[in-house]
Structure 1
Amino acid sequence: MILIGQYDSPFVRRVAIAMTLYGFAFKHRPWSTFGDGDKIARHNPLRRVPTLILNDGRVLIESAYILDWLDEQVRDGEAEVMPLIAASGEARQQTLYYTALATGFADKVVALFYEKVLHEVHSPVWLERCQTQLAAVLDQLESLRAAAKSRWLQGADMTHADIALGCALRHAREAHGEAIDWRRWPALCFHSAQCEELDAFKAIQQPFIGPKT
């Protein structure tokens, strides 16, 4: 398999970390959606990452779709590990909710970054809206993480939600630096540090470089 996208993307990184934890072998193409858009378009007309090319030539796009496919392979016995999300029930719904918050946060971080670096004239309304959304979702995630009386959000075992949150926090910290006052969210800082100590997170990382034109 071939995974396309830079590891400074929280979406690419969360897929690569899950693949590593699952034990799937893959090649990595660190292509930028800006500088390498034409290369990506040969496999994904949206020119978005992550894009995963399977061994039989099929192409999977978008992190949620890719992870769903990977989870199915694990349930079918192609990996000797437990899936990072329950097959059904309340636990699955909770993982999906936490993940949606984390990836929604990451989306807003990306949007705010692009507004600042790609537009010479910034929209104060758009900036304020993004900043308000970021603070609100961080408050919600902080509350959820602080309430978890276990190593991870849903207990002793890591889920896709933990990975998504860890990747989103690292990306936000590096993309915006001191613009976000992380002292407001100590539980999230703890979660981020705990993730980054894991071998899979150490193996799948790169310094943030932003759009490469």
Structure 2
Amino acid sequence: MILVGRYLSPFVRRTAITLELYGLPFEQRALSTMADMEQIKQLNPVGRVPVLILDDGSSLVDSATIIDYLDELAGPARALTPPSGPARRLVQGRVAVALGTMEKAVAYSYETKRRPAERQHQPWVDNLTSQVAGGLAALEAIEGTPWLAGAAMTQADVTTACLVQYMQSSLPDLLPPGSRPRLEALAARMAALPAFAKIAMPQP
């Protein structure tokens, strides 16, 4: 399998880490949505990454769709999202918060780092800042279990750690050191895993 996209994207990175955790071999094709848009659009008409090219030549797009397929390959005993019931809904709910926060954080990065200052829309920036803060606060408030969704590591932990590490590297103004101690501890714990170390967060 071939994973298209760069690990600067937390969506690509969470997909790559899931592949590593499942022991599924793949190669990375590090195309950029800025420099390589036309190549990416040949694989995904909306020009977004990640894209996973399967061994039969077909492609899957969007990290959620790809990871759902990887869960199927891993099997219910190993999948990081439970196959059914309340446990599945709990994990999916927490992944949804982390992904929503991730989307807003990436949008904030584009708005404040790539758009000229005179063209930035401050009410939009303020709204993104508020949405990111709300998502982080909700995840930070989770307590009472060793992991975000119970006694075992799940996709909620993988995705949230990718979010936190992305923000620590690229958006420290939205996540100052010490501001979210539980999330920072989770990110450090996950960083020690071989899969996270191998698929390291690049410097922006």
Tell whether the structures are fold-level matches, with TM greater than 0.5.
yes
Per the alignment, residue 125 of structure 1 pairs with 123
How has the CA–CA distance of structure 1 residues 148 and 4 changed in structure 2, closer, same or farther, with 3 Å as cutoff? Answer: farther
Per the alignment, residue 151 of structure 2 pairs with 156
Q: How far is the alpha carbon of 1:42 from its aligned partner?
A: 1.7
CA contact (8 A) 1:171 1:208 kept: no
TM-score normalised by the chain length of structure 1: 0.90
- Paired letter, 1:65: T
* Partner Cα distance (2:144, 2:83) in 1: 22
Matches within 5 A, 1:21-100: 21-75=21-75, 82-100=78-96
Specify which structure has the bigger relative contact order, considering alpha-carbon pairs within 8 angstroms and separated by 6 or more residues.
Answer: 1
Q: Equivalent pairs: percent with the same residue?
A: 38
CA contact (8 A) 2:12 2:63 kept: yes
Indicate the SS of the match to 1:205. Answer: coil
Q: How far is the alpha carbon of 1:191 from its aligned partner?
A: 0.6
Q: How far is the alpha carbon of 1:179 from its aligned partner?
A: 4.4
CA contact (8 A) 2:2 2:29 kept: yes
Indicate the SS of the match to 1:93. Answer: helix
CA contact (8 A) 1:12 1:63 kept: yes
How has the CA–CA distance of structure 1 residues 179 and 67 changed in structure 2, closer, same or farther, with 3 Å as cutoff? Answer: closer
TM-score normalised by the chain length of structure 2: 0.94
Size of the alignment, in residue pairs? 202
CA RMSD of aligned residues (A): 1.4
Q: Deviations over 1:177-213 (max 9, x none)?
A: 244324221101101111111110000124233xxxx
Per the alignment, residue 200 of structure 2 pairs with 205
- Paired letter, 1:177: P
Per the alignment, residue 166 of structure 1 pairs with 161
Q: How far is the alpha carbon of 1:148 from its aligned partner?
A: 3.3
* Partner Cα distance (1:52, 1:83) in 2: 18
Indicate the SS of the match to 1:25. Answer: coil
- Paired letter, 1:84: L
Matches within 5 A, 1:172-191: 172-191=167-186
